[in-house]
Amino acid sequence: MSPAIDGTHDAALQSWVESANDPASDFPIQNLPFGRFRGEDDADWHIGVAIGDQVLDLHAARLIASRDMNRLIRLPPETRHILRQTISQGLRAGSAQQKTFKAALRAQSKVKLGLPCQIGDYTDFYTSVHHATTIGKQLRPDNPLLPNYKWLPIGYHGRASSIVPSGQGFHRPKGQTKAPDQDAPAFGPCRRLDYELELGVLIARPNVLGEPIAMADAESHVFGVGLFNDWSARDIQAWEYQPLGPFLSKNFASTLSPWVVTLDALAPFRAPFTRPEGDQEPLEYLDSPVNRAQGAINIELEVWLQTARMRQAGHAGERISQSNYRDAYWTMAQLVAHHTVNGCNLRAGDLFGSGTLSGPRPEQGGSLMELSAGGKKPLALSNGETRSWLEDGDSVILRGYCEQDGFRRIGFGECRGLVLAATV
């Protein structure tokens, strides 16, 4: 069963942490996302919950005994739900626990935020039919959507070791590329570097090897969701991906946001999951009444681009795309059920990438490959610059938030990455 709406979602709740009451804050008391942080003098990571512009150290607040996030996310959903309620009660205005909790607060601006947990295995999916169709038209104009797409969630196993935290730069990758008029491939820096607007789904409870997870239980194995940018070297990808799929074009860096918004916090923003009229229904192991009733989640997503010239001018960047996770063709529960239907065992801390989340309109592409039509129609920026592909010095910032009448807006913070020049 999906988490239910309860008192922690009450829009009238106020916190004694004043910054959390700002309507513009991503982290009101109704949110309470989890992450890891450490100060300048800290040798180890601490587990925290974002509240306004502060972070609550859960160990210092005497709420948890261990600083191991992978251990925390393995807790049963009921136990995690009780922890959320306890945190919410302690942060509410007038709470008797204010003194204890206040001593455990750290300003987010004074700490380093890292990956939310130790990432184990990483699988990237392809859940946006709009992205798959648009890219397919560029590669296969006569057959843009392959016949298996609407029958199963397509995915590939990625590289967990190169997943980096928000704010960390990465060097432009090198590899082989081959132009149509070349007899042999060339080696050098990628010239068609791209971002991908995704969500990262963090797995909580493991399953035993050989025991699939049914749709009815799938969401109990999910801890929460963060923002995820799966950087892509499109020219390297075009040469290497057949017949086995992405390799060096994807494993040089992927950026994950520090805060994980739990499924508990997302309960008010669920929506019915429906297929377009005329599409076949999923096979039985990928279907359930709960998934049909509330398998979709209304998460607004944005991509912002800040060029080096913008940064030098004090310009924070501009939004170049917007889409919504509600339009995904496959749900989180379906990803979990399909990933394990063959007996594959998931582990706490495994990460699923949603795949690029594009909207139905051309301007809602979740990558430059879509927005620039494969580089043929450069994107015009407000300062006179254009972009077909990312250039050195560009920063890409992903943002996300949920809004629903009768509930408090909650956000995901940001997922930021900086493109550095290729190494010599």
The domain boundary, picked from 86, 113, 140, lies at 113
Tell me, yes or no, whether 192 and 57 share the same domain: no
For all residues of the chain together, what is the average pLDDT? 97
The domain boundary, picked from 65, 93, 113, lies at 113
Residue 2 covered by a domain: no
Residue 68, annotated ligand binder?
no
Residue 112, annotated ligand binder?
no
Q: Is 338 known to be catalytic?
A: no
Rounded-to-integer distance, Cα 197 and Cα 325, Å: 10
Tell me, yes or no, whether 226 and 103 share the same domain: no
Contact 396, 368 (CB under 8 A): no
pLDDT in tens, 140-189: 888 889 999 999 999 999 999 999 999 999 999 999 999 999 999 999 99
Lay out the sheet containing 34-38: strands in order across.
Answer: 105-107, 54-57, 46-51, 34-38, 112-113
Rounded-to-integer distance, Cα 237 and Cα 176, Å: 9
Q: Where do we find the tokens 């509410």?
A: 92
According to DSSP, residue 247 is labeled: S
Tell me, yes or no, whether 373 and 304 share the same domain: yes
Residue 61 covered by a domain: yes
What is the pLDDT, as a whole number, of residue 141? 86
pLDDT in tens, 287-314: 999 999 999 999 999 999 999 999 999 9
Residue 33 covered by a domain: yes
Residue 389 covered by a domain: yes
Q: Assess whether pLDDT exceeds 70 at residue 207.
A: yes
Residue 1 covered by a domain: no
Q: Where do we find the tokens 């594009």?
A: 358
Tell me, yes or no, whether 251 and 330 share the same domain: yes
The domain boundary, picked from 73, 91, 113, lies at 113
Comparing CA positions, the residue from 383, 352, 370 lying closest to residue 196 is 370
Set 81, 131, 221, 338: catalytic member: 131
Task: Tell me how crowded residue 355 is: count the other CB atoms within 10 A of its CB.
Answer: 28
Tell me, yes or no, whether 14 and 138 share the same domain: no
Tell me, yes or no, whether 138 and 217 share the same domain: yes
Contact 363, 331 (CB under 8 A): no
According to DSSP, residue 141 is labeled: T
CATH number assigned to the domain comprising residue 230: 3.90.850.10
Tokens of 326: 């509600």
Residue 198, annotated ligand binder?
yes
Residue 101 covered by a domain: yes
- DSSP per position, 296-334: EE--EEEEEEE-HHHHHTT---EEEEEEEGGG-SS-HHH
pTM for the model: 0.97
Tell me, yes or no, whether 334 and 399 share the same domain: yes
Residue 205, annotated ligand binder?
no
Residue 86, annotated ligand binder?
no
pLDDT in tens, 381-411: 999 999 999 999 999 999 999 999 999 999 9
Task: Tell me how crowded residue 386 is: count the other CB atoms within 10 A of its CB.
Answer: 10
CATH number assigned to the domain comprising residue 100: 2.30.30.230
Contact 172, 422 (CB under 8 A): yes
What is the pLDDT, as a whole number, of residue 1? 62
Using pLDDT thresholds of 50, 70 and 90, give the confidence band for residue 139: confident
Contact 34, 262 (CB under 8 A): yes
